[in-house]
């Protein structure tokens, strides 16, 4: 079903806009040859004293020394080296860089300002930005922001994995007040979804094709568009990604046909939802959800058809007016 996506993930080069400002991705510290190595346990075992056999038993407590349990904690080896673990075995020195995380790169100063001014949009959980947000920001903060600095900051921000993940989620675009104002276009959500999964595979090496397929299927279904129309709108030049898209759209087409057939059968039956669900071996909640989904698709398709017809009529009327206006001067000249 999704064999071609290995080419997408294996051959694709990450975009050049993955900069140090993309704070989502982290990497292990580089091995620069300076990392301290564990000290062998034998280095911390004292040499036996002269005249004492290594196999000789420990001298008995003569009463002058306190019992072992009353003494202070056992000191580690010289130089802060190995101690002993809970099972009593010697431990080597922990490498200096083991487990350490590379510090986060510095944030772009304009993005830091935006996070302070508009924490809802640019805070820990970002929201998709409305189109034209640059002009809105310049108009709202003329004394704080400059056009060049803002353009650079927004370019970094909107290409970061954190922001693309938000775009791929299907949330609406928001204005400066944090209000949803418009839906994210299907092709923009699809592009963000592909980019997020490409970067995730490059970072972790895991096979993400199955999860990407499910996310594509969900995005196509949530769009409310006919499956074929959705595929045409979001398709790009990546053959491997398109193969997964085709599989998801085929599955959605089957679901849509099944739901529509169930809705037609229900409307013809004259039964209640509960009785109808019992006839088809469905749970009443599942049956109701399927019927509602089929109705919503039918209403959306009808609304889209009506909008297309109205647009066609308006275009025809505008064309007729243009032709009449173009002919009017000639008629006046002929009459003169």
Write down the H helix ranges in 223-238.
Answer: 227-234
**Helix-strand-coil split of the chain, %, nearest 5:** 55, 0, 40
Q: CA quadruple 103, 107, 112, 118: dihedral positive or negative?
A: negative
At 317 the three-state DSSP class reads helix
Instruction: Classify domain 106-184 at the CATH class level.
Output: mainly alpha
pLDDT, tens only, 55-78: 444 444 544 555 555 555 555 444
% the chain with pLDDT above 70? 62
Residues 107-120 have a mean pLDDT of: 92
Task: Tell me the average pLDDT of the chain.
Answer: 75
**pLDDT confidence of residue 303:** 80
pLDDT, tens only, 247-283: 999 999 999 999 999 999 999 999 999 999 999 999 9
**pLDDT confidence of residue 306:** 79
Instruction: In whole angstroms, give the CA distance from residue 130 to residue 136.
Output: 10
pLDDT, tens only, 184-228: 999 999 999 999 999 999 999 999 999 999 999 999 999 888 899
Residues 311-332 have a mean pLDDT of: 59
Residues of each domain in the chain carrying CATH 1.10.1710.10: 106-184
Instruction: Kindly list the distances between the CA atom of residue 92 and the CA atoms of 38, 45, 96, 101, in Å, as whole numbers in the listed order.
Output: 5, 12, 12, 21
β-strand 180-182 against 173-174: which pairing, if any?
antiparallel
pLDDT, tens only, 8-56: 554 443 333 333 333 333 334 344 433 344 444 443 434 444 444 444 4
Of 41, 21, 272, the C-alpha closest to 162 is 21
Is this structure's pTM higher than 0.85?
no
Does residue 140 surpass a pLDDT of 80?
A: yes
Q: Are 137 and 2 in contact (CB under 8 A)?
A: no
At 173 the three-state DSSP class reads strand
Does residue 87 surpass a pLDDT of 60?
A: no
Which residues touch 171 (CB under 8 Å, ≥6 apart)?
Answer: 127, 128, 180, 184
**pLDDT confidence of residue 54:** 43
Instruction: Kindly list the distances between the CA atom of residue 22 and the CA atoms of 102, 133, 169, 177, in Å, as whole numbers in the listed order.
Output: 14, 20, 18, 25
Radius of gyration of the chain measured on its C-alpha atoms: 34
Torsion of CA 208, 209, 213, 219, to 10 degrees: 40
% the chain with pLDDT above 90? 52
**pLDDT confidence of residue 207:** 94
Distance of CA 315 to the CA centre of its chain: 40
């Amino acid at each position: 079903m999704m064999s071609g996506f290995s080419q997408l993930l294996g051959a694709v080069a990450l975009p050049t806009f993955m900069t140090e400002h993309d704070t989502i991705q982290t990497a292990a510290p580089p091995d620069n040859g300076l990392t301290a190595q564990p000290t062998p346990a034998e280095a911390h075992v004292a040499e036996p004293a002269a005249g004492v056999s290594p196999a000789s038993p420990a001298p008995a407590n003569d009463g002058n020394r306190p019992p072992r349990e009353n003494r202070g904690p056992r000191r580690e080896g010289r130089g802060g080296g190995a101690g002993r673990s809970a099972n009593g075995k010697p431990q080597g020195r922990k490498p200096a860089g083991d487990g350490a995380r590379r510090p986060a790169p510095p944030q772009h100063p304009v993005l830091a300002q935006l996070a302070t001014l508009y924490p809802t949009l640019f805070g820990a959980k970002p929201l998709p930005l409305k189109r034209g947000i640059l002009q809105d920001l310049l108009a709202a903060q003329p004394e704080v922001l400059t056009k060049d600095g803002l353009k650079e900051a927004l370019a970094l921000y909107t290409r970061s994995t954190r922001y693309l993940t938000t775009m791929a989620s299907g949330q609406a675009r928001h204005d400066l007040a944090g209000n949803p104002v418009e839906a994210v276009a299907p092709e923009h959500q699809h592009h963000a979804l592909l980019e997020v999964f490409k970067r995730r595979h490059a970072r972790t090496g895991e096979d993400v094709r199955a999860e990407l397929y499910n996310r594509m299927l969900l995005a196509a279904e949530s769009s409310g568009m006919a499956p074929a129309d959705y595929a045409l709108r979001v398709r790009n030049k990546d053959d491997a990604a398109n193969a997964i898209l085709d599989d998801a759209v085929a599955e959605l087409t089957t679901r849509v046909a099944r739901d529509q057939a169930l809705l037609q059968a229900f409307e013809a039956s004259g039964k209640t939802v509960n009785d109808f669900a019992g006839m088809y071996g469905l749970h009443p909640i599942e049956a109701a959800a399927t019927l509602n989904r089929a109705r919503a698709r039918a209403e959306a398709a009808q609304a889209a058809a009506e909008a297309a017809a109205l647009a066609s009529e308006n275009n025809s009327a505008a064309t007729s007016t243009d032709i009449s206006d173009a002919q009017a001067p000639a008629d006046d000249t002929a009459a003169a």
